[in-house]
Chain A
Amino acid sequence: GENVGLHLPTLSVQEGDNSIINCAYSNSASDYFIWYKQESGKGPQFIIDIRSNMDKRQGQRVTVLLNKTVKHLSLQIAATQPGDSAVYFCAEIYNDMRFGAGTRLTVKP
């Protein structure tokens, strides 16, 4: 079946730098996407979402970009902080919600 994948399994950045986490999705019919953050031993936490009729959405320190042409999502985190260290998942929604493998973000002080 179709599933969501990620380009990089790990990402290490310096505190204060910007982070970019990428995600490729397979189902061109998916019309809603969510980025989740998951800390060790906890459930995924909603960060930001975007609908397929948009190509960019901004939140507090986070921006999601959607490129439907190449079926690609990215999550940009500005001024990355130690508290941002976690695993990040993108989820695509069509008839259900499917996740990829995730990217582990490590922030170095």
Chain B
Amino acid sequence: EAEVAQSPRYKITEKSQAVAFWCDPISGHATLYWYRQILGQGPELLVQFQDESVVDDSQLPKDRFSAERLKGVDSTLKIQPAELGDSAMYLCASSPAFKNTEAFFGQGTRLTVV
């Protein structure tokens, strides 16, 4: 069964260091989302891609976060420098089309900043 792959599953980093997360969506899925989920809260959208283009990054803290999907397939989310408040689960989701289609999530990357 096709699934969204994310790595690493867990990451511990020191504050002020750089950290990166990787997502491989389901093959053929044009839409890719990155979410941040703080424990006990709902996922918060960080960035949405349609193929290789960013369609919504209004919630992405651009002073320290960046995201790319260069070939319109897999994607990387980077934080530099990491802060204590960045500790959260980072979730990637993909869907076949922009609207009105089911989005599938990966297992997430649990980030702890110490």
Interface residues of A (CB under 8 A from B): 4, 31-32, 34, 36, 41-46, 49, 51, 89, 91, 93-102
Contact = CB atoms under 8 A, between A and B. Distances in A.
A20 to B, nearest CB: 19
A97 B45 contact: yes
Given A31-B100, A44-B91, A51-B100, A101 B107 contact: no
Interface residues of B, number: 23
B104 interface: yes
Nearest to B43: A99
A89 B107 CA distance: 16
Nearest to B102: A46
The 4 closest A-B pairs by CB, nearest first: A43-B105, A99-B42, A32-B100, A44-B105
Q: Which of B48, B91, B99, B104 has the most CB of A within 10 A?
A: B99
A34 B108 CA distance: 19
B109 to A, nearest CB: 10
Interface of B: 4, 33, 35, 41-45, 48, 55-56, 91, 93, 99-100, 102-108, 110
A45 B99 contact: no
Given A45-B105, A99-B43, A102-B42, 7 more contacts: A43-B93, A43-B107, A46-B102, A49-B102, A89-B43, A97-B33, A97-B103
Contact of B48 (A42, A96, A99): A96
Given A43-B108, A44-B91, A98-B45, A93 B100 contact: yes
Contacts of B93: 43-44, 97
Contact of A96 (B45, B105, B108): B45
24 contacts: A31-B99, A32-B99, A32-B100, A34-B102, A43-B4, A43-B91, A43-B93, A43-B105, A43-B107, A43-B108, A44-B43, A44-B105, A46-B102, A46-B103, A46-B104, A49-B102, A89-B42, A91-B103, A93-B100, A95-B55, A96-B56, A97-B93, A99-B43, A102-B42
